[in-house]
Homo-oligomer: A and B are copies of this chain.
Amino acid sequence: MNAIDQISNSQRNAAQRSAPKTVAVVGATGAVGLEFLTCLAERNFPIKQLKLLASKRSAGKVLSFKGQDIVVEELTEHSFHGVDIALFSAGGDISKQYAPIAVKAGCVVVDNSSAFRMTDGVPLVVPEINPEAVAAHNGIIANPNCSTIIAMTPLWPIHKVNPLRRVTAATYQAASRAGAAAMAELEDSTRAYLDGQEYAPKVLPHPYAFNLFSHNSKIDPQTGYNDEEAKMTRESRKIFGVPDLRVSATCVRVPVLRAHAVAITFECERPIGWQTVRHIIADAPGVQLVDDREHNLFPMPRDASHQDDILVGRIRQDLSDPTGHSVSLFVAGDQLLKGAALNAVQIAELL
């Protein structure tokens, strides 16, 4: 897209800013789908009409939006007629098949799957980081991976002051990342364990009750990184606009329901003190400082659940780097909100 297209896009956006939109939610009955409804309602998104779309299996279900019952319709090639904005969260295959159809029908797609994230011409956006990237869209805007959003949103305001050179992250990922069925499996298998009953995992490949395991996405046989970890590296580079940003993650699923935590150590181009980082975080958008050394109160998934902000704490100098370039911190963020639905709705608000 050239500069003139961008300007005309931006003018069109300005004109439409206050006009209520017809919005479609694809995958409306899933864990993220339901959060789309919550976010659209709570943020008073200007909606003319709301269409809820899902698989044939879920069609006919009734969901409530602002006190109004809406019947879920089956997703078909004709679903997008008259729709302004479609929020997709029904997996990569559905996005690949239906997002181009939606765009052809004149719709702007905000896609929560990984289908188009690394595609040239598709902006990958965290509104606190690169809102300006939205303008360059060609019909599809991608929502980043949840772990990427939750780890990188707090790092961006630091990067702006003192560019990041290297990020090492270990994640503590919630069941919601694998959908509502995985959340139910965590609860059901835990109850079975407590009752001394056998439980055969159906959704995830390993026992989940009082257990944890390396993220079960495909491992690159060359690098040994799993796909979740590779996403954190490549998506961070695209969102930050730093093609050689060095990010290395270890992604682990823990028996927590809906908020991810991440232990992060980062290295900056110039020396940086932990107090500086603390001041930056205290003033940054989308994050909340939870960093009480005296009372040992820091970010926890329970506190981050159902919260828009990413909680940030344990901010301290990394003493294993004597050059003073490195700081460690610990974050927790709601996987379904800022990690998925909220970020997508924030993108839709930018349109």
Chain A residues with CB under 8 Å of chain B are 166-168, 170, 172, 186-187, 190-191, 194, 205-207, 210-214, 216, 218-219, 221, 223-226, 233, 246-248, 250, 252, 254-257, 261, 263, 265, 274, 293-294, 296, 298-302, 313-322, 328, 330
Whole-angstrom CA separation of A205 from B314 in the bound complex? 17
- Pairwise interchain contact A216-B296, C-beta atoms closer than 8 A: yes
Compute how far the CA of A100 lies from the CA of B186 in the bound complex, rounded to whole angstroms. 48
- B296-A205 in contact (CB<8A): yes
User: In the complex the two chains form, is B212's CB within 8 Å of A320's CB?
Assistant: no
Residues of B within 8 A of A223 (CB): 316-317, 319
For residue A252, which residues in chain B have a CB less than 8 angstroms away from its CB? 172, 261, 263, 330
A223 to B315, CA, bound (A): 10
Given A190-B190, A191-B191, A213-B298, 7 more contacts at CB 8 Å?
Answer: A166-B321, A214-B313, A219-B293, A219-B296, A248-B319, A252-B330, A255-B256
Kindly state the separation between the CA atoms of A337 and B313 in the bound complex, as whole angstroms.
Answer: 32
The reply to whether A214 and B250 form a contact with Cβ atoms under 8 Å apart is no
Sample of 26 A–B contacts (CB below 8 Å): A166-B321, A168-B318, A170-B170, A172-B172, A172-B254, A186-B210, A187-B194, A190-B190, A191-B194, A206-B300, A207-B300, A210-B255, A210-B257, A210-B302, A211-B256, A211-B302, A219-B294, A221-B294, A224-B314, A246-B319, A246-B321, A248-B328, A250-B263, A250-B314, A252-B263, A252-B330
* A110–chain B nearest beta-carbon distance, Å: 29
Chain B residue contacts of A216, Cβ below 8 A: 296
| Known A302-B207, A322-B246; contact A315-B194, beta-carbon cutoff 8 A | no
Verify B274–A224 contact, CB threshold 8 A. Answer: yes
In Å, the complex CA distance between A211 and B186 comes to 13
Distance of A213 from chain B, by nearest CB (Å)? 5
Task: List the B side residues contacting A186 at CB < 8 Å.
Answer: 210
A254: B residues at CB distance < 8 A: 172, 212, 254-255
- With A224-B314, A225-B319 as known contacts, state yes or no: A214 contacts B293, CB within 8 Å: no
Complex Cα spacing A313 to B319, Å: 26
Write the nearest CB–CB distance from A256 to chain B, whole angstroms: 5
Q: Are B300 and A213 in contact (CB under 8 A)?
A: yes
Set of chain B residues within 8 Å of A250, measured between Cβ atoms: 170, 263, 265, 314, 328, 330
Chain B residues, CB < 8 A from A212? 172, 254, 256, 261, 300-301
Distance between Cα atoms of A42 and B229 in the complex (Å): 41
Report the minimal beta-carbon distance from A15 to chain B, rounded to whole angstroms.
Answer: 44
The chain B residue sitting closest to A167, CB to CB, is B320
Task: Report the Cα distance A124→B168, complex, angstroms.
Answer: 30
Chain B residues in 8 Å Cβ range of A321: 166, 246, 248
Rounded to whole Å, the gap between the CB of A197 and the closest CB of chain B is 13
Also in contact, A263 and B211, with CB within 8 A (given A187-B194, A205-B296, A315-B224): no
Output the least CB separation between A201 and chain B (Å): 11
Complex CA gap A247/B328 in Å reads 13
Q: Complex Cα distance A319/B317, Å?
A: 23
B213 and A320 contact, CB distance less than 8 A: no
